[in-house]
Structure 1
Amino acid sequence: MPYSVSHHKLTQILSAHGLKAGDAGGIDKLFGGNDGYYWFGTLRDLCPPGKTLVWESQYDMVNAIQAHENATAEEDEMKPQVPSAANIAALSKALHDPL
């Protein structure tokens, strides 16, 4: 099953749930609870404006997100975070593309 992300798609996801980009509590819940807002921000940073990133599988999507997190954490000389199972499930639900 393919997955994709773009700034437009993220805006549509928030809008469908009655949320705005600054609604940290609502975005936390939407993207898996603890750190949901963090992973939403990571997706926005990962995806260049005006572009759509597409992955063929959940595994590819999660690896791309984690690779981006690892790279940015290294730049900031911090330990990278790892999405929880709840974050991954919520991200997968939000970003999957129907066939």
Structure 2
Amino acid sequence: MKVNKKCRCDKCGCAFVPEAKILREGEIEYTYFNCDYCGKAYIVSVTDAELRRSIRKYRTLSEKLNGKPLSEQTLREIAELKDGNTKRAAQLRRMYIREG
């Protein structure tokens, strides 16, 4: 998947249009892109099977929002899913990526 926006590489300074790629290692899935010039990798996300299921559920519920009033319970469920997904994504990132 290509994005129409250019970004600039932190390593070589060249501008390029990122193209998302996916790498699977067991149930862990990395979404990333590389600089077209020097190859530096930029990891966008790390997910496991549980998080991907939860993200799909969140998307399904949030698509129902499409201008329709939802019950307080559904809105609370959407908010809890988003919060849980954000926390799990941060946890996986800390577990599987060495940054810096």
Q: Bin the TM-score by the shorter chain.
A: under 0.3
Scaled by the length of structure 2, the TM-score of the pair is: 0.25
Name which structure has the greater RCO, CA cutoff 8 Å, separation 6+.
Answer: 1
Q: Rg bigger for which structure?
A: 2
More helix by proportion, 1 or 2?
1
TM-score by length of structure 1 reads 0.25
